[in-house]
Amino acid sequence: MNLRKIAAAAGFATGAALGFAPLATADSSSSWLTSIDTLLGGLSAPAASTLDYQVSFDGYDLLPTTDNSATATTIAGQFGLAIASGDGAKAIAEGGFGDNALASGTNALAYAGSTTTGATGFNFDSATDIGSNVDPSSYSGAPDGAYAGGGSLIGGVDSGASSNDTAQVIGNMGTDSETGFPGDGGNSGAFAGDSALIGDGATAGNGDTAYTSGNINGFGDGSAAVAGNGDSAYTTGTETGTNEGAFSGFGNYNSATADTNYTTDGAGVSATDGNYNYALVDGTNNSTASAGTGNNDLAEVLFTHGDASAQGGSNLYDIITPLGESTTPAAATAASDPAADDLSSTLSAEISSLNTIFQGDVAAAGGSASDYTANAQGFDVINPSEISSVQGSATDLTSFDYLVYGLNPASNLATDPGSYNVLNGALVEFDDAYNSLLYAADYSGNLIPATDLFGSATEIGAALGTGSDLGAAGEFFSNGLADLLGML
């Protein structure tokens, strides 16, 4: 985690130091989607409270921008996809071919690719931020969110073209309650790509992956996978301090994994500086592991509070793995942490979020609240008697179809359209991925029950068939990405 400390100490994330370029509106001058422009142009925009939703594809805004607080930006000819849903949500996918960004939640932020004028080499980068964030004007750090690609995304300079970087945040992000430096918030989230994304040097990234889960309320927290090769970083649980989380970077086959909460400044898991480093934490709160620098290092902490470190040599390893739960005070603290005996509150919040988006889609398509009702699970669904008047057919599509299913609705129409179909069903898959990770954090070694998942029986069965919550999360996340691609 030292690299994040370098960035913070250098004042990298102060509001004055950043100089973000204003968000550009989508360039539709060469768009081939004029037919959809005609389709949506006749719609009267609903009140601002219901139209915080924007989709941009290949330089074209699919929804009105007037009174719409959600911003999505792509560039014509790059076939990028940006989706923003929520008051103040921002999604940018530009600077290369096939970039995609998804920001879902109040002040959610997802930047993929590069914002450097004329950039073209940042291809297939993906950034996802699902969850609500506080207003970035309320703190001095860089806006919290998901960043995948070049250093320009966070106000720096691109180190060079980087492809296949992925950054994802699932959970809310806000300010912390610390009174010491920096004592506010910012610089948190998921970062994949250039080392400039964390304010350190100018090393290009490729194939990096960063993932974080759970609420983040601090400064410089989350996951970062930067500066090259097959690096990956993963964390789950909450983070409430400064410079906490998972970090992987600066070359070769580094990997960092954590499955715990962090409340101590500087605590986390890291795999850095080359070769075959690996670090894993599946212990109690604030357990740390660090693998690096160089050669075939391994560090691991399981079922205990402790620190493992493999540093500076060949074929080194440190493992702390007792046969049972530690009886130290740290273990007692972990036992007292809020644990979801069930995920009912999480499920309710997810359904409510999906319903809000769905209601906005119905309103934007000219419908009303009388067109839908809540089903037994709480999802808003179109009343059977109204389906034919709201949703069209493969040969007679409606604006509702484009809003819910994307640019290719004829292949995606549901027989029972509901809020679980928004963004072509991708958000349901991402919710299931998050729930699987949350369950893994609370019940390590147990498999999440199907009742805590939303997807189809077939998809749930396939995901649970992986035999682990982490495997299920990966399956659901892949399904979600496929659903997004299915919108094109």
Which residue type is seen at 475? Answer: E
Long-range pairs of 464-470 with CB within 8 A, sequence gap ≥ 24 = 468/440, 469/436, 469/437, 469/439, 469/440, 470/436, 470/437, 470/440
- Considering the domain architecture, whether residues 343 and 428 belong to the same structural domain is answered as yes
Residue 158 to residues 285, 350, 408, 420, Cα–Cα distance (Å): 36, 36, 34, 38
Quote the pLDDT of residue 331: 30
**Contact by Cβ (8 Å): 201, 225:** no
Q: Please tell me the distance from the alpha carbon of residue 59 to that of residue 370, in angstroms, as a whole number.
A: 34
The SS3 of residue 42 is coil
Name the domain boundary from 254, 274, 294: 274
The end-to-end CA distance of the chain, in Å, is 39
Name the domain boundary from 274, 306, 323: 274
User: Which residues of the chain, if any, have pLDDT below 50?
Assistant: 1-50, 295-297, 299-301, 303, 305, 308-341
Average pLDDT, the chain: 75
Tens digits of per-residue pLDDT, 294-353? 544 454 445 454 554 444 444 334 444 443 333 333 332 333 333 334 677 778 878 887
Quote the pLDDT of residue 40: 38
Residue 246 falls inside a structural domain: yes
Number of domains comprising the chain: 2
Quote the pLDDT of residue 147: 94
- Considering the domain architecture, whether residues 268 and 350 belong to the same structural domain is answered as no
Residue 327 falls inside a structural domain: no
- Considering the domain architecture, whether residues 122 and 255 belong to the same structural domain is answered as yes
**What is the domain extent for residue 386?**
338-488
**Contact by Cβ (8 Å): 423, 72:** no
**Contact by Cβ (8 Å): 284, 260:** yes
Q: How many CB atoms lie within 10 A of CB 65?
A: 15
Residue 175 falls inside a structural domain: yes
Which residues neighbour 189 within 8 Å (Cβ) at sequence distance 6 or greater? 109, 129, 144, 145, 146, 147, 167, 169, 173, 212, 216, 222
Quote the pLDDT of residue 28: 35
* Ramachandran quadrant class, 251 (left: phi over 0; alpha: psi -120 to 50; beta: rest): left
- Considering the domain architecture, whether residues 261 and 113 belong to the same structural domain is answered as yes
- Considering the domain architecture, whether residues 343 and 461 belong to the same structural domain is answered as yes
Which residues neighbour 195 within 8 Å (Cβ) at sequence distance 6 or greater? 3, 151, 159, 201, 202, 203, 205, 226, 227, 249, 250
Residue 95 falls inside a structural domain: yes
- Considering the domain architecture, whether residues 342 and 257 belong to the same structural domain is answered as no
Q: Please tell me the distance from the alpha carbon of residue 44 to that of residue 64, in angstroms, as a whole number.
A: 9
- Considering the domain architecture, whether residues 228 and 135 belong to the same structural domain is answered as yes
Tokens 């290949």 found at: 58
Which residue type is seen at 229? Answer: N
- 293 prior amide bond cis, ω within 30: yes
Residue 318 falls inside a structural domain: no
Quote the pLDDT of residue 77: 92
Name the domain boundary from 219, 252, 274: 274
Residue 410 falls inside a structural domain: yes
Residue 308 falls inside a structural domain: no
Residue 325 falls inside a structural domain: no
- Considering the domain architecture, whether residues 154 and 9 belong to the same structural domain is answered as yes
DSSP code string of 394-442: TTB--HHHHHHH-S-GGGT--SS-BGGGGGGGHHHHHHHHHHHHHHHHH
Quote the pLDDT of residue 386: 93
Quote the pLDDT of residue 479: 87
Quote the pLDDT of residue 375: 93
Tens digits of per-residue pLDDT, 242-272? 888 888 877 666 777 777 788 888 887 777 7
Phi, psi of 99 (to 5 degrees): -70, 150
Residue 241 to residues 272, 275, 430, 432, Cα–Cα distance (Å): 22, 30, 26, 27
Quote the pLDDT of residue 70: 92
**Contact by Cβ (8 Å): 119, 80:** no
**Contact by Cβ (8 Å): 285, 333:** yes
- Considering the domain architecture, whether residues 264 and 364 belong to the same structural domain is answered as no
- Considering the domain architecture, whether residues 239 and 365 belong to the same structural domain is answered as no
- Considering the domain architecture, whether residues 234 and 346 belong to the same structural domain is answered as no
Please choose, from the candidates 287, 258, 257, 275, the residue with its C-alpha nearest in 3D space to the C-alpha of residue 312: 275
- Considering the domain architecture, whether residues 265 and 371 belong to the same structural domain is answered as no
Residue 295: burial class (beta carbons within 10 Å; 0-12, 13-18, 19+): middle
